[in-house]
């Protein structure tokens, strides 16, 4: 029997390998704690993970441990790069937290979560983008986004690259696309402010728990820094000034203005952008479908069943982008291409 297609010797060993295969698409070896948290398709304890890593001969033939990371065998060189990115992310993290708190105090903002590569401690360097997801009150998505973009431009003066690339209303928490890529995006979010909204968003997307059953809470947990006291009072004053018919008119004007700018780019093949009254998801180049196609190929190589890569049992048909292998090498786990300005 071909070694690659030999059946796994336990469910835990198979789940661990599936998880590492997915991470390896992005050259992302994982620690034991990360493996447990982001384990694909199986609810298991840390003890189960450790036992499988220590005792599974099937895993030992396919996985190696290097400097605290688990990597696909013959891909151990990714551990050094992962260590470098982790160090860069730790230096960037306090800055991301500080600007996240500022964004949380903008009028109409109710939740700020760190997303993207940094949320997985996978930033390339200290000048990497700091990605955020913002949740706003209904009817003020575009105004809140406009104020966030102003913050982006101010931060650039200090050499900081903020990227609030997903802004949505409290009424639009459900994600219409339901596959492993989106489940991972939900699971790796790090809420910085508005923990109750984060919990509501996770609950509204309960389908993701079947794919990542251990990832019910953030892997990296931060105190809830939602506005309080004077900060909430200042936020409330801003909301009062931009409420009523005046604020409604500004919201419509900003939406129309940006729709004219974004419509052509959002309609290009391969775009995952969502732009309407309730959400502005500026992901103009979608890495999700190519990543899942690559994952399907890796699963097939090892004769593992294809699970969780499609919505409703149907594989999506992305627009042609050329070979997956050439589209993904520079992409990091959590990375998304987006437009903010």
Tokens of 321: 């982008």
Looking at the fold, whether 92 and 69 belong to one and the same domain comes out as: no
| DSSP summary character for residue 171 | G
Predicted confidence (pLDDT) per residue in 222-231, tens digit: 999 999 999 9
Per-residue confidence (pLDDT) for residue 339, from 0 to 100? 52
Per-residue confidence (pLDDT) for residue 266, from 0 to 100? 58
Mean of pLDDT values over 185-205: 97
Per-residue confidence (pLDDT) for residue 276, from 0 to 100? 86
Q: Would you place residue 265 in the very low, low, confident or very high pLDDT band (cuts 50, 70, 90)?
A: low
Per-residue confidence (pLDDT) for residue 230, from 0 to 100? 96
Give the predicted TM-score (pTM) of the model: 0.87
* 326: in domain: no
Number of domains comprising the chain: 2
Compute CA distances 155 → 9, 91, 103, 130, 329, whole Å: 52, 17, 11, 11, 29
Q: Would you place residue 335 in the very low, low, confident or very high pLDDT band (cuts 50, 70, 90)?
A: low
Looking at the fold, whether 69 and 188 belong to one and the same domain comes out as: no
Is 150 within 8 Å of 280 (Cβ atoms)? no
* 128: in domain: yes
* 337: in domain: no
Q: What is the DSSP string of 228-248?
A: -HHHHHHHHHHHHHT-HHHHH
Per-residue confidence (pLDDT) for residue 336, from 0 to 100? 53
Mean of pLDDT values over 190-198: 98
Asked whether the predicted pLDDT for residue 89 surpasses 90, the reply is: yes
Looking at the fold, whether 174 and 231 belong to one and the same domain comes out as: yes
Distance CA 180, CA 338 (A): 20
Is 224 within 8 Å of 113 (Cβ atoms)? no
CA-angle at 65, arms to 115 and 93, nearest 5°: 25
* 327: in domain: no
Looking at the fold, whether 102 and 74 belong to one and the same domain comes out as: no
Looking at the fold, whether 116 and 234 belong to one and the same domain comes out as: yes
Mean of pLDDT values over 204-230: 96
Looking at the fold, whether 102 and 244 belong to one and the same domain comes out as: yes
* 294: in domain: no
Looking at the fold, whether 33 and 116 belong to one and the same domain comes out as: no
Looking at the fold, whether 188 and 262 belong to one and the same domain comes out as: yes
Per-residue confidence (pLDDT) for residue 5, from 0 to 100? 79
Looking at the fold, whether 90 and 68 belong to one and the same domain comes out as: no
105's torsion region: left (phi>0), alpha (psi -120 to 50) or beta? alpha
Mean of pLDDT values over 233-244: 96
Looking at the fold, whether 178 and 95 belong to one and the same domain comes out as: yes
Give SS3 for 71: strand
Distance CA 204, CA 140 (A): 21
Which residue segment(s) compose the domain that 10 sits in?
3-81
Per-residue confidence (pLDDT) for residue 285, from 0 to 100? 62
Residue 9 sits in a domain whose CATH number is 1.10.10
Mean of pLDDT values over 202-215: 96
Mean of pLDDT values over 55-65: 95
Per-residue confidence (pLDDT) for residue 141, from 0 to 100? 97
Looking at the fold, whether 60 and 175 belong to one and the same domain comes out as: no
């Amino acid at each position: 029997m071909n070694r690659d297609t030999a059946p796994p010797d336990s469910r835990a060993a198979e789940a661990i390998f599936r998880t590492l295969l997915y991470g390896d698409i992005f050259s992302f070896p994982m620690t034991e704690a990360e493996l447990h948290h982001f384990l694909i398709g199986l609810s298991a304890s840390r003890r189960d993970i450790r036992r499988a890593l220590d005792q599974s001969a099937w895993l030992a033939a396919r996985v190696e441990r290097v400097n605290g990371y688990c990597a696909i065998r013959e891909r151990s060189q990714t551990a050094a790069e992962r260590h470098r990115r982790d160090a860069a992310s730790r230096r960037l993290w306090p800055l991301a937290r500080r600007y996240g708190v500022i964004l949380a105090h903008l009028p109409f903002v109710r939740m700020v979560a760190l997303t993207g590569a940094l949320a997985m401690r996978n930033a390339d360097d200290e000048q990497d983008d700091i990605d955020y997801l913002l949740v706003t009150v209904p009817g003020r998505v575009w105004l809140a986004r406009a104020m966030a973009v102003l913050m982006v431009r101010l931060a650039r003066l200090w050499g900081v690259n903020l990227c609030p690339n997903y802004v949505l209303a409290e009424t639009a928490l459900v994600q219409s696309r339901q596959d492993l890529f989106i489940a991972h995006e939900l699971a790796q979010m790090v809420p910085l402010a508005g923990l109750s909204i984060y919990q509501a968003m996770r609950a509204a997307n309960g389908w993701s728990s079947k794919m990542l059953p251990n990832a019910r809470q953030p892997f990296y947990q931060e105190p809830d820094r939602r506005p309080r006291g004077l900060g909430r009072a200042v936020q409330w004053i801003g909301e009062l000034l931009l409420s009523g018919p005046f604020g409604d008119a500004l919201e419509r004007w900003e939406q129309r203005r940006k729709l004219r700018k974004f419509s052509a780019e959002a309609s290009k093949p391969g775009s995952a952008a969502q732009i309407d009254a309730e959400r502005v998801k500026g992901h103009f180049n979608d890495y999700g479908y190519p990543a899942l196609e690559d994952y399907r190929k890796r699963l097939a190589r090892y004769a593992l069943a294809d699970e969780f890569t499609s919505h409703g049992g149907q594989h999506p048909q992305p627009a042609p982008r050329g070979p997956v292998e050439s589209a993904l090498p520079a992409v990091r786990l959590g990375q998304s291409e987006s437009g903010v300005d």
